[in-house]
Amino acid sequence: MSRLLLWTVCVVLAGCEPVWTYSTVLEPLRLRLDTDGNGIVDAGEYNAISYKAPDFSAADTDGDGDLSHAEIWNLVLSQPPATFDGSAPMAEPTSMDMSAYFVSDYDERVLRDLMNFLREEVAVRAPGVDLPTRRMIALAARSKRLDAPAVVEVLRQLRSRHEEVGLRFPARIAANLDLIPEAPQDVDTDVEVDDDVE
């Protein structure tokens, strides 16, 4: 008897699963578009909220004055993901950008990523601020040491910029920088490396 009951419950539950179609998936979006609640997404409602989408006449492919679920789906698919919000497409990564992720040494990659992250924090908060270049960071990271003179120089510049724009610099890195004496002005702090970094 218990097997029959279990079988019946399984059959009933299996029949209750929602069917994934354009209509079921896009219904919440369609309801949001239908601001007056009349069951039709007309040109006025569409134009009031469309951002960089095609004109209503192009979106309403069957010309009935109402956007169907399939037409909304086609709108979503037609938007280029890199520029749908009106921004310029991202530039192709340079060989230097790519090399950061394919260097064979883990310590170099971690150090480079750390300094680039700290750099980008400032660049986003205050565009145009004088920051160490990506090349300078890449060359410094080749030392693979947090206490290397070139790394210390980059980190001190980044710490100063963080303070200038009101960002919090990582406390442990700041504490380590405080323990390292300032380099004399006449000492060259560049790392000896091959000049193959672009």
Whether residues 73 and 101 fall in one domain: no
Establish if 33 belongs to a structural domain: yes
When divided into structural domains, the chain yields a total of 2
Boundaries of domain holding 163 = 95-179
Residues 47 and 8 in one domain: yes
In the predicted model, what is the mean pLDDT of residues 60-71?
91
Tens of pLDDT, residue by residue over 91-113, are 777 776 666 566 568 888 889 99
Q: Is residue 116 part of a domain?
A: yes
Q: Is the domain of 57 the same as that of 109? A: no
pLDDT tens string 133-183: 999 999 999 999 989 999 999 999 999 999 999 999 999 899 888 888 876
The answer to whether 144 and 187 have CB atoms below 8 angstroms apart is no
Pair (68, 101) in one structural domain: no
Considering the domain boundaries, does residue 191 fall inside one?
no
In the predicted structure, residue 24 carries a pLDDT above the cut 70:
yes
Q: How many residues does the chain have?
A: 198
Residues 6+ apart with CB under 8 A from 105: 144
- CATH number for the domain spanning 66: value is 1.10.238
Q: How confident is the model at residue 17 (pLDDT cuts 50, 70, 90)?
A: low
- Residue 24 maps to a domain: yes
Q: Per the structure block, which two tokens stand in for 79?
A: 């938007």
Residue 147 contacts by C-beta under 8 Å, 6 or more apart in sequence? 176, 180
The answer to whether residues 63 and 107 belong to one domain is: no
pLDDT reported for residue 187:
47
Q: Tokens for 46?
A: 């569409």
Residue 186's Cβ-count burial label (10 Å; 0-12, 13-18, 19+) is exposed
**Do 12 and 71 share a structural domain?**
yes
* Token output for 51: 């951002």
